[in-house]
Amino acid sequence: FVDVDPITLSASRLAGASLSVNAAAEAILLAAAANMVTKTAVAIGIGGIRFGWKLVLAGLLALASGAAAFVIL
């Protein structure tokens, strides 16, 4: 699995100093997306598509919300 916490902490510490705020936000959004894709694949692999489709919909909604917030802000 992809652990989002270290990436979030590192990117937020570097934001504004050696990394632009936009680049830090992109790194965090990318890490969250990779985490969601990995967990969704595992859920579908273990629980089947009937179980995993709900997680796919929730993940897409979460990723769309994060991307919309990134574009708006």
pLDDT at 1 over 80: no
Backbone angles phi, psi at 15, to 5 degrees: -60, 130
Residue identified by tokens 């709900």 is 54
Enter the tokens of residue 61.
């909604």
Q: Rounded to an integer, what distance in angstroms lies between the CA atom of residue 60 and that of residue 27?
A: 18
3-36 pLDDT tens trace: 788 888 999 999 988 999 889 988 988 888 888 8
pLDDT value, residue 11: 92
What is the radius of gyration, based on Cα positions, of the chain? 14
pLDDT at 70 over 80: no
pLDDT value, residue 2: 62
pLDDT at 43 over 70: yes
